[in-house]
Structure 1
Amino acid sequence: MPRKKKAVIREVLPDPIYQDVVLSKFINCLMKKGKKSIAEKIVYGAFDIIEEKTKQPPLEVFKTAINNVRPQLKVVSRRVGGSNYQIPMEVSEKNGQALAFRWIITYARARNEKSMDEKLAAELIAASKNEGASIKKREDTHKMAEANKAFAHLRF
């Protein structure tokens, strides 16, 4: 955290094909070692597969998948009186979107399909239908927050 000035939040340019800022942020999140062109090829290849399989616009499938995976609550560990408590907190829209991106990418990489295009397409299709590993992660997070609702008064 800076002492003098607030950190400047840079504006993300929309992606070249769909002109969408959220998709551009997703591509940046998928990117490894600065190889943006490869990340773009993976995402656009996955979008082609999504369009082929679902016969729907891939951007709509992507948006519904992100909205389905985005959590409303999370638990934050806080030390009070020598013991740690898992305190449920509401997730901001920006942070929730980042968590959704991270979970979708993580579980897409863990899938068994051949190429990353196919893995990402399968995970996005599953998430848009409210199934799959990333949806299970959101449900587990919500269950944990619900179970620790008694510690909500320790919020900071």
Structure 2
Amino acid sequence: MEIKLFNKWDTTEVVVRDPSLRGYINIAPVFVPHSAGRNSKKMFDKAKMNIVERLANNLMRKEHNTGKKHLVLSTIEEAFDIIEKRTKQNPVQVLIEALENAGPREETTRISYGGIAFLQSVDVSPSRRLDTALRNIALGAMQSAHKSKKTFAQCLADEIIFASKADMQRSYAVRKKEEKERVAQSAR
């Protein structure tokens, strides 16, 4: 029997093109991406968690959705249906492309030297890059759904599609990435 995500999408054909993110994006086949916190005890075990579940956990950040994982998973399933209809691609592949485009490769850190503080440009680890991309995609979807006629699933689908196309005008996550990289560029 073949295991498909939400009993609809095959994740075995999904490809992670970015070599630095390959070890951190888990696309192992599961029916429902819900591990019940199994990977929360050890430091870097979140890399073992399915990427769709990590997206769901990021969508539960704000007080309105806290603890409502079943609701968030059904919203993600609805968003994936919309993505599949619009792009005619596997929505998990579109999500992976969005994460690759939305993760900043460079950012700044604050360094104090002799009483003077200045910003220094640093490379971003793949784990932090993925965390930032997931957080910004979730925040972008929440902000566009706030006081909007669109449903949350439609806003999430829009954010993922625009981020997968690296559309800086319409994707909050890609806009934030470009902003961070621009600040890092000036701090070199």
TM-score (norm 2): 0.67
SS of equivalent to 2:122: strand
Counterpart of 2:172? 133
Give distance in 2, aligned partners of 1:121 and 1:65. 11
Which of these residues, 61, 65, 83, is aligned with residue 98 of structure 2? 65
Aligned: 1:123 with 2:154:
no
- In structure 2, relative to structure 1, the CA distance for the partners of 1:86 and 1:13 (3 Å cut) is closer
Higher helix share: 1
Could you tell me which runs of 5 or more consecutive residues in structure 1 were left unpaired when the two chains were aligned. 1-6, 15-19, 150-156
Which of these residues, 21, 38, 45, is aligned with residue 50 of structure 2? 21
Give distance in 1, aligned partners of 2:86 and 2:149. 15
Quote the RMSD (CA, aligned, Å): 2.0
CA contact (8 A) 1:113 1:119 kept: no
Q: Which has the higher contact order (CA 8 A, sep 6+)?
A: 1
CA contact (8 A) 1:73 1:141 kept: yes
Moved over 4 A (4+): 10-14
How many equivalent pairs are there? 138
Could you tell me which runs of 5 or more consecutive residues in structure 2 were left unpaired when the two chains were aligned. 1-40
Counting aligned pairs with the same residue, the percent is 28
- In structure 2, relative to structure 1, the CA distance for the partners of 1:13 and 1:39 (3 Å cut) is farther
Matched ranges for 1:44-63 at <5 A? 44-63=77-96
- In structure 2, relative to structure 1, the CA distance for the partners of 1:87 and 1:63 (3 Å cut) is same
Counterpart of 1:152? none
Aligned: 1:147 with 2:186:
yes
